[in-house]
Homo-oligomer: A and B are copies of this chain.
Amino acid sequence: MNNHSAFDTFMRAAFGMEPGGKTCNQLETIATTLSLDRGKIAPLDRSIDQIACITRGATKLAVHASGDREQIVAFHFAGDIVSIPSDGSHIYVMTSLVETELLVFPAREFFDQASAESTMARSLFDRLPAALNRCREKAVALGRMSAHERLAGFLTGMAERVGKRVGERIVLNLPMSRQDIGDSLGMTIETVSRQLGAMRKAGLIETRGRSQIVLRDIRELAKRAGHAKQANKKPPKNFEI
């Protein structure tokens, strides 16, 4: 369960800590390693806040609203650190999108250790505000952007995180379904599909199979992602050619 050198390597990569230090060792004692197949709910203790570090794979963190709908709060990939609250009015559920490995810490002890180790603290003080800002950007998108703009923003965001440049184009192998994309952007799968269709017709993207999307004009996508709902009243109402 605990491969010492792998743990240390991870801690160095994640927080810039020198391996074998006291903090590193103490963190290892409170860490749990989870290996999840595709589409599994991470078995987390819901009575305490947790910190998860994704070492391999991809996950979604979602709030289960009543009924059959969920709002995905964030997607996470290898190297990402995730704060998972236990309280709050909603239940948070982390689910693997592909085969995934992650380390889980009880938040209280994790932050106790981090407070005592300035290198780690400093690293977290970069990461936490960044996570907050990503969440704020998401709130702006959900509150003020049209479906088309949200999807354009999603694609450009994914391009930065998991895109592979292939010549002029950027290739995305998305681990999440249309349902996931919809649940993340606050819209239905039908709307996701329709907007992708519009972008396809406009020559901005190609879709290959269910999971691959090729971005042919990221510049235009970024432009379309940037404008607010009732922004300029001059341009026509939709983007279809």
Determine whether the beta carbon of B228 is less than 8 Å from that of A65: yes
How many copies the complex holds: the figure is 2
Q: Which of A119, A143, A225 has the largest number of chain B CB atoms within 10 A?
A: A143
Is A167 positioned at the interface, with any CB of B under 8 Å from its CB? no
Determine whether the beta carbon of B114 is less than 8 Å from that of A125: yes
* Chain A: number of interface residues, binned into ranges: 35 or more
Determine whether the beta carbon of B71 is less than 8 Å from that of A143: yes
Is A185 positioned at the interface, with any CB of B under 8 Å from its CB? yes
Measured CA separation A139–B134 after assembly (Å): 11
Is A112 positioned at the interface, with any CB of B under 8 Å from its CB? yes
Determine whether the beta carbon of A185 is less than 8 Å from that of B143: yes
Is A154 positioned at the interface, with any CB of B under 8 Å from its CB? no
Q: Which of B119, B135, B228 contacts A67 (CB 8 A)?
A: B228
Question: Min CB distance, A215 to chain B, in Å?
Answer: 17
Interface residues of A (CB under 8 A from B): 49, 63, 65-69, 71, 73, 83, 85, 88-90, 107, 111-112, 114-116, 118-119, 121-122, 124-126, 128-129, 131-133, 135-140, 142-144, 185-186, 225-233
